[in-house]
Amino acid sequence: MNDWSGGGEKAAGAAIYALELRSEADTVRLAEKLAGLCAPGVLIALDGDLGAGKTRFAKAFAAGLHVPGLVNSPTFTIIKEYEGGRLPLYHMDVYRLTIEEADELGLEEYFEGDGVSLVEWASQIEPLLPPERLHIRLELTGAESRLAVIRPRGARYDAWCQALGLRAAEGEGSGDDANR
């Protein structure tokens, strides 16, 4: 079971930022920058259609953490742990999971662990996510271009967005309709 739900949903996470990624290199740069900011307990919640670049982002993020070796899509394994980098990386792909199945995996062990968690298709298990996390939704806008819609939840991630100098997304509002 998890006890993350409720509390602070409105207060935190009202801000929405948008970042245009004109090429794969821009995606790599964003992921590497974020990896550089990471400390234990960080959670990056990734969303976006198939082919949007979630796994590409994860590979660059892993490189930014100096994780050795090849980082692949964990679609079939659901969770892959990578040691040997600046911090352990827990790379998850929850696309195939129901909430009940995800709940039984005990993901909070990872979220509360010494490493950094990166979850592809995170909105699928939204109720199981801890309240503090950085949401990134990658939207396909062209063959090589993407729009990253970034929503910080919690002071740590607010500070990250400030540090990155991100611009507020158009139509930023109450922040309660930002999941999709």
Ligand X SMILES: Nc1ncnc2c1ncn2[C@@H]1O[C@H](COP(=O)(O)OP(=O)(O)O)[C@@H](O)[C@H]1O
Sheet holding 79-82, edge to edge: 79-82, 89-93, 116-120, 43-47, 133-140, 146-153, 17-21, 167-168
Residue of 162, 122, 129 whose CA lies nearest to 17: 162
C-beta closer to Mg ion: residue 6 or 69: 69
Binding status of residue 117 toward Mg ion by CB under 5 A? no
C-beta closer to Mg ion: residue 52 or 161: 52
Q: What is the DSSP letter of 19?
A: E
Residue of 55, 5, 1 whose CA lies nearest to 31: 55
C-beta closer to ligand X: residue 147 or 178: 147
Q: Which of the choices Mg ion, ligand X, none does residue 53 contact, using the CB cut-off of 5 to 8 A by kind?
A: ligand X
- DSSP helix/strand/coil, 81: strand
DSSP E strand boundaries for the chain? 17-21, 43-47, 79-82, 89-93, 116-120, 133-140, 146-153, 167-168
Binding residue for ligand X, selected from 72, 144, 155, 173, defined by CB under 6 A: 144
* Site string (17-56) toward ligand X, x via CB under 6 A: ----x-xx-xx--------------------x-xxxxxxx
C-beta closer to ligand X: residue 12 or 118: 118
Q: Which of the choices Mg ion, ligand X, none does residue 23 contact, using the CB cut-off of 5 to 8 A by kind?
A: ligand X
Contact status, residue 42 vs residue 65, Cβ threshold 8 Å: no
Contacting ligand X within 116-135 (CB under 6 A): 120
C-alpha distances in angstroms, 31 versus 9, 11, 43, 170, 177?
A: 26, 26, 13, 22, 25
* Site string (121-160) toward Mg ion, x via CB under 5 A: ----------------------------------------
Binding residue for Mg ion, selected from 27, 55, 90, 150, defined by CB under 5 A: 55
Which residues of the shown chain bind ligand X in the complex (CB under 6 A)? 21, 23-24, 26-27, 48, 50-56, 120, 144, 146
